[in-house]
Amino acid sequence: MTGFGLTWSVVAISVPWLAAILTSVGRRQIRVIGFTAALVSALASALLLSAAPPRESLDEALMVLFSCLTLGAMLMVPRRDCTSGTIAGMLFVLGSTLLGYSAENLLVLLAAWFLTAIPFCLPQWFAARTWRPRAGLLLSGLTLALAIGLIAASGHGMSISTLRGQSPGGMAVLALLVAAVVFRKGICPAHAWVADAAHGGPAIPTALLLNGHFGALLVAKLVVPLFPYAARDLFPVLSYFALATALYVAIRALTENSPRRLLAFIALSQSACILAGLESRTTEGITGALVHLVVVTVSTMGLFGILRLLEVRFGENLNAGRHLGLAEHAPRLAVFFVVFGLALVGLPGTLSFCSQDLLIHGTLASHPLTGLLLPMATAMNAVSIFRLFTRLFLGKRRTGFTVMADALPRESLILATGVLFVVLGGLFPTAIIALQSAQAETVEQAMRVTHSIRSKGDMSRPALNASRICRRSD
Amino acid sequence: MDLLQATLVVVVLAPGVVFAVFGLLWLTGWVPSERVLSRVTGATFSSSVFGLAAIVGKLLWTRTPSVEVAFGNWFAVHNYHFPLVLMADRLSLPFLGMTVVLSGLIGQFSATYLHRERGFLRFFLLLHLFAFGSLVAFAAGSFDLLVGGWELVGITSVLLIAFFQQRTAPVENGLRVFVVYRACDIGLLVAVFAMHHWAGTASFAAGLPKLTGGQTVIACLLLLLAAAGKAAQVPFSEWLPRAMEGPTPSSAIFYGAISIHAGAYLLLRVQPMIAQSALVSGLVIATGVITAIHGTIVGRASADAKTSLAYASLTQVGVVLVEIGIGWKSIAIVHVLGHAMVRTLQFLRAPSMLHDYHMMRSASGGELSPTGKHLEDLFPKGMQLWLFRWALDRGHLDTILDRLVVHPLVRLSRAFATLDHIGLGQPMPRQREAAISGRSSAGVGGD
């Protein structure tokens, strides 16, 4: 990393951490401090992105996305939740997540992995009421720590770039890394903690945790580059698990009546599709996965945010088992909800229509039979999200509310920004897709190099060129 | 881009722009008056009618088969690209014309019909979005773009079924229709991906994708699934009476005219592919015949006007499918146009049907002969009763789909929920209602 990159990375990471300390101590103007810190972080990340070559800008793009997400979350957090603890925790998660994205060293990545999980394990911060989220996060951290420990024990260094293509530690390390992905991402059978975290923890910070997509990051950052040979054979297995998760969770969501759990299941199902796309070994599929990551992140954040706003206004015990008729009281929130919800599942005119198009195309091209699960899962998710919309917002009007329940200007502003992003991104997707496509080509090329080496037994000229590109990017 | 191409673009985009502008203005807090809405709607669709008339005139004058507008690729990744091509040819022009004419008529009718109704703005916004979706689907030069329009038609249709959102039945029925749409749309999505995979393109502006015999059969079967879902063909017909929960104008334009014929349009578009396979042609004909018989029997036992009209629509669409299967494309197009116009009129007159009936009876001297009695008399008495029971339950299609698809899925989902609760040490939350079974009674008629 150049001096320029290092400086702005430090700014992007340290400012939220410092602001977290400030809000914990000062306890005044905490929303303003949180917003400013997230804004600085977003600007620093944007500078990093603008300076990075398009083909090597995945980490920087994720940094921009996550800092913008936190920026939006700062505006959306309802006043009831806007305590110094919440804001400090969210800023802490922001700094830690950006540290994970920008990590070039295994130990730094491990530290970020644990730091992002810590607030969700401490009862005074964002811990859920049940034990499974803590167990899921802890197990993912421990498996990653074990994997890194084994790499160190096998005499390798800790720099990710020097480890590329070396399969450090062999199959045991790969298995541990895959286990870390499974636990962190919530792949079946380790999926239950995600719903528990969403159900029993604070909605908006939990959405931030889930939208860090550390599982997918580990795949793109470690599994594929470090274990190119083994990944080629074993990666499809992870993809099948991801597709099975997408379908399992989509079926599970069909009868779920807790809005938070239901949203968590849909988010999980759509996130699992990202892994399947990354594994598709086609530029279309990988691009679709990366674009879908952006869509899932923005949409689920919007949906969880709206749900929290509804809980604050209409009570914490919202249940999708009956019709609540909230659209009469909050018509704009209803519109935002339906747009975010349908954008998550491929509504035409939104960015997810393009991402799903690419994702399904890539997955079907590489796995024609198992790839069919993807449109099936998406169709079921669409049914579930529409059911949630109808149950929350349609039906007989509830009486007894005297407060103005619709979105406040602050909330409208941020939700409208999110809606405009997914809609304009869908109408004019070229810029976003071109950026992600460049990054996808790098990932796909690394996989193709592996394939070429494996099939021919030596390095052909195109494979050598691709390999050089990969090494140059180090 | 010449004037003709620009006109086509304006015709297709105009309702979408109106939807976007009014939608954004509403988000900022401005609610347009009924007069503004109805005038803008009238102006939009009137100008679209004139624009389309100009296109038709120009094409006839210059003896050009079609007008195409290529915007390049919407997005492209590696070898995969999403072509953005609009096309108006001999097949799409009648459907485009039908859409703009009927949308304009329904807009004018609804301005009075829904006067001072809560949701007036919502209805008009959805009408514009629906018209935009239909125009995109009918003017698409590729299956990729057609999917976009197709999905928009589906979602607006569902939102309009749930228009009277204060009542539970319309909302639940809307959800059920959404389930059927999404399930059948998988066929269209997979068919498009299959075409890309096999032929490298899903564009039909320069001719249908070139597929081998087996590939053609698979693609056509998938498209037939999608068309059957949208056109409410057997075994998916059970959603149609549920869709009657929406306001009458939307029932007229969706299930009497445009949405119900979208499936026929899709099959007409791929008719040369269908004609290549006797199996697919036979299946299309069989689907049409079964649906036509089902529609006419069930329609005779329907207790309300809108549902009986919906089944009459179903019968006619079944016949259209038979015509497509046989290869009578022109007859099918004329049939669709004629049927759409007549059925829209019937739907719009449905609220005053009793009044019309009395007028007709008075005009005929006090007695009206029952229609179709001669057909019913062809069956023995016992079979008539059996058919009546069968028709009352709408061919048991609802029950069959519930037992074969919905209930197993719900049971599976609950089994997964039980699995998920293992180790939590908490009691399972009680499942109050079946999630997607749509408990409410169907076909009780809209307002």
Nearest chain A Cα to B137, which residue?
Answer: A348
Nearest C-alpha of chain B: how many angstroms from A332?
Answer: 7
Please check whether residue B270 lies inside any domain of the structure.
yes
Q: By the CB < 8 Å criterion, does A430 face chain B?
A: yes
- Are B259 and B322 within one domain? yes
Q: What is the pLDDT of residue B429?
A: 62
Chain A residues with CB-CB distance to B426 below 8 A: 130
Q: What is the pLDDT of residue B447?
A: 40
Nearest chain B Cα to A323, which residue?
Answer: B168
Q: Of B78, B82, B417, which has the smallest distance from its Cβ to A255's Cβ? A: B417
Residue for token pair 């997707």: A429
Residue for token pair 């998550």: A344
Q: By the CB < 8 Å criterion, does A258 face chain B?
A: yes
Structure tokens belonging to residue B389: 């029971």
Q: Are B270 and B223 in contact (CB under 8 A)?
A: yes
Indicate if the pLDDT at residue A459 is higher than 50: no
Please check whether residue B436 lies inside any domain of the structure.
no
- Are B395 and B290 within one domain? no
Average pLDDT over residues A450-464: 45
Nearest to A403 by CA among A326, A318, A303, A298: A326
- Are B395 and B341 within one domain? no
For chain A, the domains span: 1-102, 105-226, 236-474
- Are B209 and B323 within one domain? yes
What is the rounded distance in angstroms from the CA atom of residue A116 to the CA atom of residue A113? 6
Chain B residues with CB-CB distance to A433 below 8 A: 75, 77
Q: What is the pLDDT of residue A397?
A: 73
> ipTM of the predicted structure?
0.91
Chain A residues with CB-CB distance to B218 below 8 A: none
- Are B198 and B307 within one domain? yes
- Are B28 and B147 within one domain? yes
Structure tokens belonging to residue B48: 């679209």
Please check whether residue B152 lies inside any domain of the structure.
yes
Contact state of A379 with B190 under an 8 Å Cβ cutoff: no
Q: By the CB < 8 Å criterion, does B119 face chain A?
A: no
pLDDT band at A130 (very low <50, low <70, confident <90, very high): confident
Q: By the CB < 8 Å criterion, does A26 face chain B?
A: no
Tell me: the pLDDT tens digits for A359-394? Answer: 888 888 888 877 888 899 999 999 999 999 999 999
Structure tokens belonging to residue B395: 């061919």
Please check whether residue B323 lies inside any domain of the structure.
yes
Chain A residues with CB-CB distance to B171 below 8 A: 323, 390, 394-395
Indicate if the pLDDT at residue A471 is higher than 60: no
Structure tokens belonging to residue B269: 């578009």
Q: By the CB < 8 Å criterion, does B215 face chain A?
A: no
Chain A residues with CB-CB distance to B153 below 8 A: none
Which position has the higher pLDDT, B268 or A464?
B268
Q: Is residue B254 exposed (0-12), middle (13-18) or buried (19+ Cβ within 10 Å)? A: buried
Contact state of A354 with B74 under an 8 Å Cβ cutoff: yes
Nearest C-alpha of chain A: how many angstroms from B171?
Answer: 7
- Are B103 and B164 within one domain? yes
Where is A393: in which H helix or E strand?
Answer: helix A373-393
Q: What is the mean pLDDT of chain A?
A: 87
Positions of chain B with pLDDT lower than 70, given as ranges:
425-447
Q: What is the pLDDT of residue B440?
A: 42
What is the rounded distance in angstroms from the CA atom of residue B408 to the CA atom of residue B383? 33
Q: Is B203 helix (H, G, I), strand (E, B) or coil?
A: strand
Q: What is the pLDDT of residue A461?
A: 40
The domain in which residue B387 lies consists of 378-421
Chain A residues with CB-CB distance to B78 below 8 A: 282-284, 287, 437, 441
Where is A386: in which H helix or E strand?
Answer: helix A373-393
Which position has the higher pLDDT, A233 or A409?
A409
Q: Of B75, B175, B185, which has the smallest distance from its Cβ to A430's Cβ? A: B75
| Cα atoms in the 13 Å half-sphere on the side-chain side of A408 | 13
Nearest chain B Cα to A398, which residue?
Answer: B166
Give A 154-173 residues with CB within 8 A of chain B.
none
Chain B residues with CB-CB distance to A355 below 8 A: none
Which of B352, B370, B398 lies at the terminal end of a domain, its last residue?
A: B352
What is the rounded distance in angstroms from the CA atom of residue A197 to the CA atom of residue A202? 8
* Strand ranges inside A154-275, DSSP E: none
DSSP-derived secondary structure for A53-107:
-GGG-HHHHHHHHHHHHHHHHHHHS-GGG--HHHHHHHHHHHHHHHHHHH--BHH
Structure tokens belonging to residue A399: 């009486």
Chain A residues with CB-CB distance to B182 below 8 A: 379-380, 382-383
Of the residues B28, B75, B152, B242, the best mutation for testing chain A's interface (the one with the most A CB atoms within 10 Å of its CB) is: B75
- Are B127 and B185 within one domain? yes
Please check whether residue B293 lies inside any domain of the structure.
yes
Indicate if the pLDDT at residue A121 is higher than 80: yes
Tell me: the pLDDT tens digits for A392-402? Answer: 999 887 766 65
Give A 122-141 residues with CB within 8 A of chain B.
130, 132
Q: Cβ neighbours of residue B326 under 8 Å, at least 6 residues apart? A: B281, B285
Average pLDDT over residues A439-443: 78
- Are B291 and B382 within one domain? no
Q: What is the pLDDT of residue A239?
A: 82
- Are B130 and B41 within one domain? yes
- Are B392 and B347 within one domain? no
pLDDT above 70 covers what percent of chain A? 91
What is the rounded distance in angstroms from the CA atom of residue A76 to the CA atom of residue A414? 7
Of the residues B22, B77, B79, the best mutation for testing chain A's interface (the one with the most A CB atoms within 10 Å of its CB) is: B77
- Are B158 and B207 within one domain? yes
pLDDT band at A469 (very low <50, low <70, confident <90, very high): very low
